[in-house]
Amino acid sequence: MHILFYSAQPYDVKYFTAANEKYGYHLRFLEYPLNADNTALVKPGETVVCAFVNDRLDAPILRQLYDKGIRLIALRAAGFNNVDLKAAASLQMPVVRVPAYSPHAVAEHTVALLLGLNRKIYKAYNRIRDNNFTLNGLEGFDLYGKTVGVIGTGNIGAIFCRIMLGFGCRVIAYDMHEDPRLKAAGVSYASADAVFEQADIISLHCPLTPATQHLVNAGTIAKMKQGVFLLNTSRGGLIDTPAVVDALKSGHIGALAIDVYEQEEHLFFHDLSGAIIQDDVWSRLITFPNVVITSHQGFFTHEALTQIAETTLHNIACFEKGLPSENQVTL
């Protein structure tokens, strides 16, 4: 099998090369993101494209890939909002993904963001390096006893709920599918509105779908508590960022931590330190002292990278043998 990787970073090369020892496939790594300009980079004989979260897989691009001989889209990610599944199905091009790869990685990163934001670790780090040992402005609050609202209690949200229960928080959640094990552990389910209204901290763990796009918007923010902490490690499109900027300016949102951003494909995973950023919403967002941003690194642990590489190659092996993959994305 000849597999072409788009958006490949050095860590992709490292982990996929290691996992491939078992398979012996031919792997070719391109650092470019997949878009309409570079489908021509597919070489004869390559039948699989391995793509990541910001690679574009819309109908015209899928068609171009198909015409170049690609027969399988292997996502090395859980989310598949960047793929036109209908177009892929009409080309009879299966799409496989890695549904779960250390959900602990993302849940723990969410907790890291919350703790860092609340206790101002990012400020303290800089202060100490400047020999400034004062505490003014570093005040946080006890998480113990606070109400944490979780939207989406799948693999990642469930682990996040359990960690927050361990902190002694009250955890309320909204998901169409209630998890009885979480209920038994002490999570109470409520409507999305009730979660927005009651939570001191809100964390988003649902996928990006037409139903969840801009789930956090001016209307839902208005329902939230004054000073609410908002966390998003799922997908940028869950948040209407200009509305959040307005709420940060007014103080209605007390702090924001995000690992994802709606327009992240233009920014994340690139070194733009010498560039002029053209995205004014982003530029405003990073000026707030109560905003912490990481560039989509929630998944970035040794365990998750190992699992991603192994599951992706397993998915490709299933395709090669004509076997159905349990990880195929269906419409």
Active site residues: 235, 264, 296
Please identify, using beta-carbon distances, which residue of 91 and 293 lies nearer to ligand NAD: 293
Count of CB atoms within 10 A of residue 274's CB?
A: 5
Residue 295: both structure tokens together:
């560039």
Residue 247: both structure tokens together:
């709420």
Please identify, using beta-carbon distances, which residue of 40 and 211 lies nearer to ligand NAD: 211
Distance of CA 170 to the CA centre of its chain: 25
Distance CA 79, CA 99 (A): 8
In terms of Cβ atoms closer than 10 Å to its own Cβ (0-12, 13-18, 19+), residue 193 is exposed
In the sheet that 253-258 helps form, which strands lie side by side, from edge to edge?
188-189, 170-174, 147-151, 201-204, 228-232, 253-258, 291-293
CB of 184 to ligand NAD, least distance (A): 17
CB of 298 to ligand NAD, least distance (A): 3
What is the footprint of ligand NAD within residues 193-222 (CB under 6 A)?
Answer: 205-208, 211-212
Contact 59, 13 (CB under 8 A): no
Among the listed ranges 42-50, 88-96, 152-160, 247-255, the one in contact with ligand NAD (CB under 6 A) is 152-160
Among the listed ranges 126-134, 168-176, 240-248, 283-291, the one in contact with ligand NAD (CB under 6 A) is 168-176
Please identify, using beta-carbon distances, which residue of 42 and 257 lies nearer to ligand NAD: 257
Applying CB under 6 A, the site for ligand NAD has a residue count of 30
Please identify, using beta-carbon distances, which residue of 47 and 213 lies nearer to ligand NAD: 213
**String of contacts with ligand NAD for each residue 246-275, x by CB under 6 A:** -------------xx---------------
Q: Which residues contact 247 (CB under 8 A, 6 or more apart)?
A: 218, 221, 253
Helices (H), strands (E): how many in the chain?
A: 12, 12
Among the listed ranges 127-135, 151-159, 223-231, 250-258, the one in contact with ligand NAD (CB under 6 A) is 151-159
What is the footprint of ligand NAD within residues 280-299 (CB under 6 A)?
Answer: 296, 298-299
Interface with ligand NAD (CB under 6 A), residue from 94, 103, 149, 254: 103
